[in-house]
Amino acid sequence: MSTDSETRVEDGPDETEDLQRRLERTTRGRVLISVVIVVLLGTVLVVNMPDSITKRALLHAASPVANVLGLDQGWAVYAPSPRKESTYLEARVLERDGTTTTYPVPMQHGLAEYWDYRWQRYADTLLNGPDNKPRWAPYARWVADQDRAAGHSPTVVTLVNISSVSQPPDAPTPRTPWSEHPFFSIGVGS
């Protein structure tokens, strides 16, 4: 003998049926899926086009989609002129008592790299040029909030670019010595 809930499941559509199957069952759903696929493929195409008038014209529409989905990866790392500089972002917080607390961008190892890589991408965004200057203060304030949450009393947050240049394979050392360049400071007193 079946209960009322079992009878309803057998008589009507399965309430646990996933969204994909419901969309695929209707014409409107299949059109929606097709539009999403076309938008994604178009975004990937535009983002990976060589620099041109066409790319610049389409990029304003493709950039929001690419940024949200993480499709804004540049391939210049590989060719024709790969990036030679390794950079790391570090925030240094001057506390009210005169001590300094350091907050490097989180970098995980192993499988954790896959879900924390967004922090490295964000740090790259902050470090790559003056166009990103409007993002510096919000990030510094966020670091100050994290510092306060840890029970400290921040007064100044300084963002520091730590970098080194990779040498050619036949060079005696793999890279130049690491250098530090503070590029932004903001007062964040309580």
Per-domain residue ranges for the chain? Answer: 4-69, 85-187
pLDDT tens per residue, range 14-58: 555 788 888 888 999 899 999 999 999 999 888 888 888 888 888
pTM of the shown model: 0.58
* Predicted local confidence at residue 85, as pLDDT: 85
What pLDDT, on the 0 to 100 scale, is given for residue 61?
Answer: 87
Tokens of 170: 């036949």
**Would you call 47 helix, strand, or coil by DSSP?**
helix
Give the pLDDT of residue 38. 93
Enumerate residue ranges in the chain where pLDDT < 70: 1-16, 72-80, 108-110, 112-116, 129-130, 190
Strands (E), the chain: 85-95, 100-104, 154-165, 179-187
* 3 state DSSP class of 175: strand
Q: What is the pLDDT of residue 2?
A: 46
Alpha-carbon gap, residue 125 to 139, rounded angstroms: 11
- CB-count burial class (<10 Å; 0-12, 13-18, 19+) for 93: buried
